[in-house]
Amino acid sequence: MIRNELIEDLANRTLEAISEAGKYKLLTLEALNHRPTPTGWSILECLEHLNRYGDFYLPEIDRKVSEAPHSGNEVFKSGWIGNYFALSMLPGSDGKLRKMKTFKSMDPIHAHLEANVVDKFLDQQRQMLGLLEKAREVDLGKVKTSISISKWIKLKLGDTLRVVVYHNQRHIQQASRVLEALG
């Protein structure tokens, strides 16, 4: 896959997330905290989950991109584990998301959340757009990043970017379903 095509795709997905999350700023705190089922996440819980991951990945990506030499390598070839993680975030051919277990530290259910969670998410997405621009200048296959679930596993930067953006897309879709259910 061509680096700039990947970056464009991820930037467009991020812009869609910003657009969708912008709608949440118009909602009341009650609507933002509405849980569709006793175990289902509210809109704020979806965004808080993403913010927690963003707190890990954005500084990690920034550090690795800033340290990386500029590269003329325009082609990115995904690693098998990175590709697996990335694709597992996306909906299946039927449009449904696969159920996944969330780590306790990343599970915001029943946390007391305020509307500023939306602002933090939007700020993180703007940061991601900036990181995607910086990533245009580095070899997405040679730069490796740590991941939140294991200090022993490293992913190619291109795969990490895909995982983070697809994960955001996954939970924005979940939050949008909560909004639709609210009417």
Q: What angle do CA 161, 162, 164 make, to 5 degrees?
A: 65
E strands, 11-158, are 144-147, 150-156
Q: How far apart are CA 112 and CA 33, in angstroms?
A: 9
Q: How far apart are CA 42 and CA 24, in angstroms?
A: 11
Phi, psi at 136, each rounded to 5°? -60, -20
pLDDT at residue number 94: 56
Q: How far apart are CA 72 and CA 65, in angstroms?
A: 14
pLDDT at residue number 96: 64
Per-residue pLDDT of the chain (183 residues; tens, 9 = 90+): 899 999 999 999 999 999 999 999 999 999 999 998 888 899 999 999 999 999 999 999 999 999 998 887 788 999 999 999 999 888 766 566 667 667 576 667 778 899 999 999 999 999 999 999 999 999 999 999 998 877 788 999 999 999 999 999 999 999 999 998 887
pLDDT at residue number 73: 79
> Residue 91 maps to which CATH number?
1.20.120.450
* Count of structural domains, the chain: 1
What is the phi-psi region of residue 95: left when phi exceeds 0, alpha when psi lies from -120 to 50, beta otherwise? left
Phi, psi at 173, each rounded to 5°? -60, -40
Domain range holding 79?
3-182
pLDDT at residue number 44: 97
